Amino acid sequence: MHTLPDDRTILGVLEPLALAAGSRIMEIRARGFEAEAKADSSPVTQADRDAEAIILAGLRERFPGVAIIAEEEASIGLSPETVGDVFFLIDPLDGTKEFVKGGTDFTVNIALVRACEPVVGVVYAPAANAMYSGAPGIAEMVRTDGAHQPVDRRAIGVREGSAPLTIVASRSHNTPETDAFIGRYEPADRVTIGSSLKFCLVASGEADLYPRFGRTMQWDTAAGDAVLRAAGGMTRTLDGEPFRYGHGTCADDAPFANPFFVAEGRVPRG
């Protein structure tokens, strides 16, 4: 097993990989592409595949022997046979539906999980030239230029919630349970946005809560969750326990499926 460097060094590897993947996604978007359907009927494009290939190559070169669970590999059955206490989770293009429709709410997501916790994460929204990075003691929002290179950084953190709360919800996966949850906090401002940017709004103090009462996979959430935790927030299961990552955390579902959760800043749980 390759010995991992410190978390700050790992973050310094993940950031340029996310930027390179985002750059490739935007290149493919500019030239045009065809969307295909995976076995679960969700869309996939060459942008998903190319972005994942960039990230996988970089991680395997720098961290040989560390298990990697990546969405597109997993969709065709290429997941590690064993996953230990330390592994990477990759969603190379979260929000493919938004990408296909010409929207901007799609992201590149890379996270390191250690002992069931997401400890290092990068979320890059290439269409918005905005990257969110998190590791213990580091939570930043990074602006990028047209070449997808960093031009400005600022520290971010969750805010103290005060009425009315701002609650962020999925743009395309709303449920009656989500409406009922938000109703408990009325009056509240509701913001809808796609992909893992929902975590980032809470992490950067632009929102207070993100409830998710719908199916997600661990590669959808780990990077944003790592940023949120680095920024002083937490993601919890519906019984209030810290959200955990690893094989089989959601009974009677796929190996890396998630239970329902609530991502929160400094807000009393109702």
Q: Is 91 annotated as a binding residue?
A: yes
CB-based contact 88:65 (threshold 8 Å): no
Token pair for residue 111? 């996270």
50 annotated ligand binder: no
209 is in an annotated binding site: no
SS3 146: coil
Does residue 262 contact residue 269 with C-beta atoms inside 8 Å?
yes
Please name the residue ranges forming H helices in the chain. Answer: 7-31, 46-62, 71-75, 96-101, 176-183, 197-203, 218-230
Q: Is 71 annotated as a binding residue?
A: yes
On the CB side of 20, CA atoms within 13 Å amount to: 15
Please indicate if the annotation marks 94 as binding a ligand.
yes
Query: Was 27 annotated as part of a binding site?
Result: no
Q: Does 232 belong to an annotated binding site?
A: no
Residues whose CB falls within 8 Å of the CB of residue 151, separated by 6 or more in sequence, listed in order: 143, 144, 145
154: region left, alpha or beta (phi > 0 left; psi from -120 to 50 alpha): beta
Binding residues for substrate: 71, 93-96, 220
Annotated binding-site residue numbers: 71, 91, 93-96, 220
Known binding-site positions for Mg(2+): 71, 91, 93-94, 220
